[in-house]
Amino acid sequence: MPSLGVNIDHVATIRQARYREDFENHNAEPDPVVAALMAEKAGARGITAHLREDRRHIQDRDILRLRERIATKLNLEMGVTEEIVQIALEILPDDVCLVPENRREVTTEGGLDCVGNQTILRPVIARLRGRGIRVSLFIDPDEDQIESAAKLDAEFVELHTGTYANALGENVERELARLKGAARLAGERGLRVNAGHGLNYRNTTPILQLPGLEELNIGHAIVSRAVVVGLEQAVREMCALIAKG
């Protein structure tokens, strides 16, 4: 059964909305580390946090405290910049997921271009894996991207499910078929498979059909649901949905 990794970026987003310039203020809340611990208690098997170059939500101090406090695993999402690579090499998260970054985007839009960035990605992946960090590449469910990811010696791909999540009508099945095909090809090329982006309590169940799927990383939907029912209950509901699926 695939495990659930809870992305806590949006918890930090709420904090930064009021305490952007003073996030270490003793009144600053909510605390993403507390949220991570609650998610673990409710059944999450990992915590995901994206340390962006512009530090719009998660801060360096959050990553340090997550590394010290959580009991499952830390999955650090990051762009391929030397500053963030150095932080990863110092903190040593269990997993790193390399993603594209665009300062104008609200959240990550689309997958990493492994085809066009082999020269940049290869040494970064080698450095991270050399320190014992598992490396995943966040990519679109595209055959060329899968083939390129396999050549880069990453252990995982995380398939971008955003296009599927936004699809309507017959496009839903078309995008689901693309994801299934990409997952199957990834397995054939020796890559392990995770998935995430735009998944919620309505559209996650079909994604559980992906061949070899090991983990789903979900954030916004869980934090949104938590506003109504509380974080622990929101995580339990998603874990139950995955188990049932």
For residue 201, which of 215, 177, 218, 214 has the smallest C-alpha distance?
218
Specify the DSSP element, H or E, that contains 38.
helix 32-41
One-letter amino acid for residue 111 of the chain? G
Catalytic residue among 101, 175, 197, 215: 197
One-letter amino acid for residue 124 of the chain? V
3-class SS of residue 49: strand
Q: Quick check: 16 and 23 in contact, CB under 8 A?
A: yes
Catalytic residue among 77, 101, 158, 215: 77
Q: Quick check: 212 and 192 in contact, CB under 8 A?
A: yes
d(CA 44, CA 35) in angstroms, rounded, equals: 11
> Is 197 part of the annotated catalytic residue set?
yes
> Is 10 part of the annotated catalytic residue set?
no
Q: Quick check: 39 and 6 in contact, CB under 8 A?
A: yes
Catalytic residue among 50, 101, 158, 215: 50
3-class SS of residue 89: helix
For residue 217, which of 124, 126, 108 has the smallest C-alpha distance?
108
> Is 77 part of the annotated catalytic residue set?
yes
Positions annotated as catalytic residues are 50, 77, 197
